[in-house]
Amino acid sequence: MKKDISWKVSRFDELSTDELYEILHLRCKVFVLEQDAPYLDMDYKDQKAVHLHGYIDGKLIAYCRIFSAGDYFEEASIGRVIVAQEYRQYGYGHDLMIKAIELANVLLTERVILISAQERLQRFYESHGFVKVSDTYMEDGIPHIRMRKE
């Protein structure tokens, strides 16, 4: 049964130590361990991002970071999009993207969003209005594509 997510939106300096630890733990669990892609997740870009984090029963289950134009790419960007494995079957990834796009549009007043998407998730991002704008490239040993939403 799908439960309601409690969303938080934070700048880096607004994150508590516990929130930051939970975010980094989930990112490491999904991107490094689950996807078997050893890479340096902490890239000194978190300090510029708006962090969208979603909780169910006090547990972090969904997360992404959102950038204004020029802070990551020339355009605004959404990245580190994750939902904890045990919650993926409920559609929380779609809820996360809807909220992230809304924040980019309303909070950051951005209209064009560029993402570096794992190629296997192309249809997921297309369902949110993103269009493929690059050939496939490797990033951290995983095939990626650039996608854009206007």
More confident residue, 32 or 129: 129
At CB < 8 A and 24+ separation, what contacts does 17-25 make?
A: 19/53, 19/60, 22/53, 22/60, 23/51, 23/53, 23/60, 23/63
Using the CB atoms, write b or e for 107-139: b if 16+ within 10 Å.
ebebeebbbbbbeebbeebeebebeeeeeeeee
For the chain, domains (ranges, CATH) are 6-111 (3.40.630.30)
| Each residue's pLDDT tens digit, 45-93 | 999 999 999 999 999 999 999 999 999 999 999 999 999 999 999 999 9
- The share of the chain scoring above pLDDT 70, in percent, equals 100
Report d(CA 60, CA 40) in Å as an integer. Answer: 21
3-state secondary structure of 54: strand
